[in-house]
């Protein structure tokens, strides 16, 4: 057991209590952010004359060395310490003696951990944004290639009206674009530095919180020290946005599984992204899509967990908050893994155009267009709906599609039909005539694709590009 406190205790901590309380097994994940935060803090203490220039230099150099050694594996983060903060401080004191003991001047682990988690999460938000962008690029590639790959559009999983593969993918493009916007939004709201909040009430030292915030690429310091140490809203917002990403991925997974089934065969998942069966030699299973769908539950779980953890906590810091870490780390890792795999799976997937088109042709996906034809020839819509309903019934009985009937047959049902009906209900016309923006018609689709290209060509500015270089060299 190695801990930073103990002066006011007369007994050793119970072994079980120590283990229950310790967080090093998971908070070592942000060892880098912990040391970066310490370097920024010490530099600011030096600038303010709270530490001498020599002390500042000595501590900063030692922290950089410790970080380097941890990264290259020469220094192992020992689990005998309570948390990563204790490990770093103890290692520093080991090396520098009394000077090392000055590191924690004007700081509490409460604002320290609030900072570390924010720094770590901020980086993850940017990474997730990058993965989302890559996925959007993959989807846009499919869209460009398939503006006239016809397929049935469904409602209630029943064939409804014909669309194109580009249009279907376009729906997912919108979802994941909104997911990216949520990342940007969360980033902007969370990008304030809690360091300097102290335990809860700031400190009596003359700290320059604007300086530490600027050193680490924050837009400024948080403006209330009690909130600074106890705000976990940004994690809840992030978990909510991650849950939404998983919900989107899960819906997409479900479609890929259906499309890849023996019955549909709209797509074939690449061998590299499929798995086999230990007993049935013929099987090629869509396990990746199923796992992504399955993992959605654990990300939702993380959101519920943290909301519940936070709901009864009085101001300011309470140890309950330590529970924010494992579940957030797990959710971020899960989403990153799923996004990367899903991009790869979609990028390598084969689309069977013929199967999709054949499926769009049978199933009366042109029934609405047949009704519209009658409307364009003066029949009121409600009557047209009834006439085409009868026509569909007739076709079902005969086992044919609308365009397979002769003109005489059609005219027996309504004399309004003329020979141009066949063109009016062809798959091509049904899709091509849908030209309002957002519809599957080729012209409308191409306009949207051009907008997507413009969108992907620009990046939102995170504004934190060089902050690490400033601290580490």
CB of 161 to ligand ARG, least distance (A): 53
CB closer to ligand ARG, 83 vs 179:
83
Helix (H, G, I), strand (E, B) or coil at 73: coil
Give the x-and-dash track for 25-64 against ligand ARG (CB under 6 A). Answer: --x-------------------------------------
Q: How far apart are CA 395 and CA 376, in angstroms?
A: 22
- What are the tokens at 204? 């009596």
Does residue 406 carry a catalytic annotation? no
* 277 is a catalytic site residue: yes
- Looking at residues 243 to 302 of the shown chain, list those that interact with ligand ARG (rule: CB under 6 A): none
> What is each CA distance from 354 to 137, 148, 265, in whole angstroms?
25, 12, 10
Stretch that binds ligand ARG, among 272-280, 316-324, 354-362, 443-451 (CB under 6 A): 316-324
Contact 370, 391 (CB under 8 A): yes
321 lies in the binding site for ligand ARG (CB under 6 A):
yes
**429 scored as a contact of ligand ARG (CB under 6 A):** no
Q: Which two tokens stand for residue 126?
A: 């940017």
In angstroms, give the least distance from the CB of 461 to ligand ARG.
31
Contacts with ligand ARG: how many residues (CB under 6 A)?
10
Task: Convert residues 176-195 into a mask of x (bound to ligand ARG by CB under 6 A) and - (unbound).
Answer: --------------------
**Helix axes 165-190 and 109-145, enclosed angle (nearest 10):** 160
**How far is residue 262's CA from residue 268's CA, in Å, rounded to a whole number?**
10
Are 441 and 433 in contact by the 8 Å Cβ rule? The answer is: yes
Q: How far is the CB of 230 from ligand ARG (least distance, A)?
A: 10
**Residue 183 vs 235, nearer CB to ligand ARG:** 235
Answer yes or no whether residue 128 interacts with ligand ARG by CB under 6 A: no
Question: Catalytic: which of 253, 277, 305, 452?
Answer: 277
**Element spanning 47, H or E:** helix 31-47
Interface with ligand ARG, residue 318, by CB under 6 A:
no
C-beta closer to ligand ARG: residue 29 or 295: 29
* Polymer length in residues for the chain: 473
What burial letters (b/e) apply to 133-157, b meaning 16+ CB within 10 Å?
bebbebbbebbeebbbbbbbbbeee
Omega of the bond prior to 316 within 30 degrees of 0, cis? yes
Is 78 or 362 the residue whose CB approaches ligand ARG more closely? 78
Based on the shown chain and the rule CB under 6 A, indicate whether residue 328 belongs to the binding site for ligand ARG.
no
Q: Which of 156, 278, 406, 473 is catalytic?
A: 156
Least distance between ligand ARG and beta carbon 81 (Å) = 11
322 lines the binding site for ligand ARG (CB under 6 A): yes
CA distance 261 to 189: 43
From the list 302-310, 317-325, 357-365, 400-408, the region that binds ligand ARG by CB under 6 A is: 317-325
Query: Distance between CA atoms of 419 and 413, rounded to whole angstroms?
Result: 14
Measured from the CB atom, is 22 or 427 closer to ligand ARG? 22
Distance from CA of residue 163 to its chain's centroid? 27
Give the distance from CA 435 to its chain's centroid.
Answer: 32
Binding residues among 80-119 for ligand ARG as defined by CB under 6 A: 83, 109-110, 113
- Residues tagged active-site: 156, 277
């Amino acid at each position: 057991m190695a801990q930073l406190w103990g002066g006011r205790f007369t007994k050793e901590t119970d072994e079980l209590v120590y283990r229950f309380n310790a967080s090093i097994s998971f908070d070592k994940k942000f060892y880098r952010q912990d040391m970066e935060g310490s370097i920024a803090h010490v530099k600011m203490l030096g600038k303010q004359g709270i530490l001498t220039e020599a002390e500042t230099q000595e501590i900063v150099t030692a922290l950089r060395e410790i970080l380097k050694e941890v990264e290259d594996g020469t220094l192992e983060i020992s689990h005998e310490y309570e948390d990563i903060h204790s490990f770093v401080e103890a290692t520093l004191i080991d090396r520098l003696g009394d000077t090392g003991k000055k590191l924690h001047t004007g700081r509490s682990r409460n604002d320290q951990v609030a900072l570390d988690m924010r720094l770590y999460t901020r980086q993850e938000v940017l990474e997730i944004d990058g993965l989302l962008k890559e996925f959007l690029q993959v989807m846009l590639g499919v869209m460009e290639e398939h503006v006239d790959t016809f397929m049935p559009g469904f409602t209630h999983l029943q064939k409804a009206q014909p669309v194109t593969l580009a249009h279907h993918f376009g729906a997912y493009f919108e979802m994941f674009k909104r997911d990216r916007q949520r990342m940007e939004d969360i980033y902007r709201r969370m990008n304030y530095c809690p360091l300097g909040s102290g335990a809860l009430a700031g400190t009596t030292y003359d700290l320059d919180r604007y300086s530490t915030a600027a050193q680490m690429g924050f837009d400024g310091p948080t403006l209330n020290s009690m909130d600074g140490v106890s705000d976990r809203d940004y994690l809840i917002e992030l978990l909510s946005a991650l849950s939404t990403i998983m919900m989107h991925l899960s819906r997409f997974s479900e479609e890929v599984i259906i499309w890849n089934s023996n019955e549909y065969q709209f797509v074939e998942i690449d061998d590299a992204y499929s798995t086999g069966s230990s007993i049935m030699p013929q099987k090629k299973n869509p396990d990746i899509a199923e796992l992504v769908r399955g993992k959605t539950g654990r990300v939702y779980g993380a959101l519920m967990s943290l909301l519940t953890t936070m709901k009864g906590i009085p101001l300011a810091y309470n140890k309950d908050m330590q529970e924010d870490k494992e579940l957030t780390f797990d959710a971020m890792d899960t989403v990153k893994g799923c996004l990367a795999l899903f991009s790869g799976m979609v990028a390598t997937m084969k689309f069977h155009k013929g199967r999709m088109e054949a499926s769009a042709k049978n199933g009366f996906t042109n029934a609405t267009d047949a009704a519209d034809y009658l409307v364009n020839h003066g029949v009121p819509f409600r009557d047209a709906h009834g006439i085409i309903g009868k026509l569909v019934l007739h076709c079902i009985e005969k086992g044919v599609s609308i365009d397979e009937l002769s003109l005489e047959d059609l005219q027996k049902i309504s004399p309004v039909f003329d020979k141009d009906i066949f063109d009016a209900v062809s798959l091509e016309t049904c899709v091509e005539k849908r030209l309002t923006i957002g519809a599957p018609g080729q012209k409308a689709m191409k306009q949207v694709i051009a907008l997507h290209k413009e969108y992907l060509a620009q990046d939102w500015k995170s504004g934190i590009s060089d902050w690490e270089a400033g601290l580490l060299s």
